[in-house]
Amino acid sequence: MSGEPRGIPLPRAGFESEALRIRAWTGGPFQENTYLVECRATGETALVDPGWATPAALQATPDGVPDAVLLTHAHLDHVEGLPFVVEAGTPPIHLHPADRDLYSRAREQGAAFGYEFGASLPEPDHELVPGEPVSVGRVRLDVRFAPGHAPGHVIFHAAEEGVALVGDVIFQRSIGRTDLPGGDASQLLESIRREVLTLDPETRLLTGHGPSTTVKEEKMGNPFLRPSFRPDSSRLA
């Protein structure tokens, strides 16, 4: 592999515009991407999907603690870094209520993968409401409801910046798995068509796993979005 030292994830390519900087760190058995979103004007930050690489992301966060935590959904690989966040401070945690149940079962989620997760997660502070944006400093993130991979999955879309944090809804040339509790393949495809493919084609999609992509690239090249694809024939990672 690369010269990356084991256990110390380095930032991977994120996203930059005049108003905003997004950096990502990757790690753990699921190679989850943890994102730090920063408003350049105010310096305010939000940590999105704090997974295994959270300590590295916190190290890069001004004052060591973000101003907010935003969760696209509550699968363990996207929340397992929260105990490190609450050690550093108490930023408000935002989650869609339909994933509250998954969130409260982090330990059982771990056990299902043969993974021991002993820490307890802090109570979420704010319920995300689709259509009600959240802000990171002066940057506005629209909240779009995209269930199917998880029942309360949302996407954070910075429309003015042309970037969206899409969690596990869609990946480069793939889509989220739907065999976990609360998953629904046809609902996921509907969410992708309604909430992702309708975005500006140049929109950069920062995904929960793997490299980023764009709406245009996935419209052209994603095999799961071809009209001939049937959800029941999928074998997804």
Are 150 and 193 contacting, i.e. CB atoms less than 8 angstroms apart?
no
Smallest distance, Å, CB 73 to Zn ion? 6
Give the binding-site size for Zn ion (rule: CB under 5 A): 4
Measured from the CB of residue 12, what is the shortest distance to Zn ion in angstroms?
15
Q: Which residue has the tokens 């969690």?
A: 167
Tell me how far apart the alpha carbons of residues 108 and 111 are, in angstroms, rounded to a whole number: 5
Per CB under 5 A, which of residues 23..82 are in contact with Zn ion? 75, 77
Q: Segment contacting Zn ion (CB under 5 A): 82-90, 132-140, 202-210, 212-220?
A: 202-210
Minimum gap (Å) between residue 49 Cβ and Zn ion: 8
- Nearby residues of 59 by Cβ (< 8 Å), 6 or more positions away: none
| One of 37, 98, 208, 225 touching Zn ion (CB under 5 A) | 208
> Residue holding tokens 């350049």?
40
Tell me how far apart the 2 most distant CA atoms of the chain are, in Å.
50
d(C-alpha 6, C-alpha 176), whole Å: 27
What are the C-alpha distances in Å from 189 to residues 75, 131, 133, 146, 235? 19, 20, 24, 9, 14
User: Which listed range, 90-98, 110-118, 128-136, 167-175, lies at the site for Zn ion (CB under 5 A)?
Assistant: 167-175
CA-based nearest residue to 87, from 114, 68, 64, 53 = 64
Specify whether the CB–CB gap between 68 and 134 falls below 8 A: yes
Distance of closest approach, residue 27 Cβ to Zn ion, in angstroms: 12
> Of the candidates 142, 168, 195, 218, which one interacts with Zn ion according to CB under 5 A?
168
Strand duo 213-214 + 204-207: pairing: antiparallel
Point out which span in 38-46, 57-65, 162-170, 211-219 binds Zn ion (CB under 5 A). Answer: 162-170
What gap in Å lies between CA 69 and CA 78, rounded to an integer?
11
Q: For residue 4, give Cα distances in angstroms to 10, 27, 30, 31.
A: 7, 11, 17, 14
Of 137 and 208, nearer to Zn ion (C-beta) is 208
Residue nearest Zn ion, CB atom distance: 75
Minimal distance in Å, beta carbon 76 to Zn ion?
Answer: 9
Minimal distance, residue 168 CB to Zn ion, in Å: 4
In the complex with Zn ion, which residue's Cβ is closer, 1 or 237?
237
Pick 44 or 168: Cβ nearer Zn ion: 168
14 or 137: CB nearest Zn ion = 14
Residue 204 binds to Zn ion (criterion: CB under 5 A): no
Residue with Cβ nearer Zn ion (44 or 80) = 80
What φ, ψ does residue 146 adopt, rounded to 5°? Answer: -135, 65
Contact positions toward Zn ion, by CB under 5 A? 75, 77, 168, 208
